[in-house]
């Protein structure tokens, strides 16, 4: 059974954050709040954890379109090819915020994603997500737990999320009620912004 950990977004308790970070380091799966829906995440460098998420989602890791959750834009050069000034200005305007940006990947991607030409980058405007990534020291792979067939409460109420997921993951963070609107996805990999999914984030930024 998973641990159920209460963390307040306005002042995340460092001891609780560190507990969750240790779970991530050991290959654990964590459900945590973002500035949109709750996410299911793991350490990007842990093959076993990536495979666990893939099994839950019923896909192969190599076929997955998961987001890289970053604390800020300083992680970009680790996984993204050099981008032009106009693209960087869009990212600066939008992040942190409820957006996923598809960008051209570079040769430093973890081996499970080497065949991918692009990567989805997220910098959520959420202090808990930011603290987890900073504590871990590298991005968290993340996929939404939102399911269009689910009752909306399941994706917004941490206690109901825990009831549903406690046998599948290692930690569920109660960071308060989540949103039920996913992030806006914008493809910037070709140099021209293309809206893939309109979600919570306004399109005015492009």
Q: What is the pLDDT of residues 106-125, one digit of tens each?
A: 988 888 888 889 999 999 99
The tokens describing 76, both together, are 């970009």
Sign of CA dihedral 85, 196, 198, 141: negative
Q: What is the pLDDT of residues 46-104, one digit of tens each?
A: 999 999 999 999 999 988 999 999 999 987 888 999 999 999 999 999 999 999 999 99
User: What CATH number is given for 3-205 in this structure?
Assistant: 3.90.870.10
Predicted confidence (pLDDT) at residue 149 exceeds the cutoff of 70 = no
Strand order in the sheet with 39-43: 3-6, 171-174, 30-32, 39-43, 140-144, 67-69, 118-122, 99-104, 184-187, 194-197
- Per the CB < 8 A criterion, the answer to whether 196 and 187 are in contact is yes
**H helix or E strand, kind and range, residue 195:** strand 194-197
């Amino acid at each position: 059974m998973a641990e159920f950990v209460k963390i307040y977004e306005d002042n995340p308790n460092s001891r609780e954050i560190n507990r969750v970070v240790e779970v991530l380091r050991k290959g654990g799966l964590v459900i945590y709040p973002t500035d949109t829906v709750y996410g299911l995440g793991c350490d990007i460098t842990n093959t076993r954890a990536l495979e666990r998420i893939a099994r839950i989602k019923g896909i192969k890791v190599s076929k997955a379109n998961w987001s890289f959750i970053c604390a800020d834009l300083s992680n970009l050069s680790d996984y993204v090819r050099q981008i032009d000034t106009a693209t960087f200005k869009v990212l600066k305007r939008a992040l942190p915020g409820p957006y996923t940006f598809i960008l051209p990947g570079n040769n430093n991607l973890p081996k499970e994603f080497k065949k991918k030409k692009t990567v989805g980058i997220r910098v959520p405007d959420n202090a808990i997500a930011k603290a987890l990534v900073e504590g871990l020291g590298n991005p968290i792979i993340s996929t939404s737990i939102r399911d269009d067939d689910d009752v909306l409460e399941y994706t917004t109420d941490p206690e109901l999320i825990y009831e549903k997921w406690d046998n599948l993951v290692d930690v569920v963070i109660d960071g308060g009620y989540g949103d039920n609107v996913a992030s806006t996805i914008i493809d910037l990999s070709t140099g021209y912004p293309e809206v893939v999914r309109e979600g919570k984030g306004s399109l005015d930024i492009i």
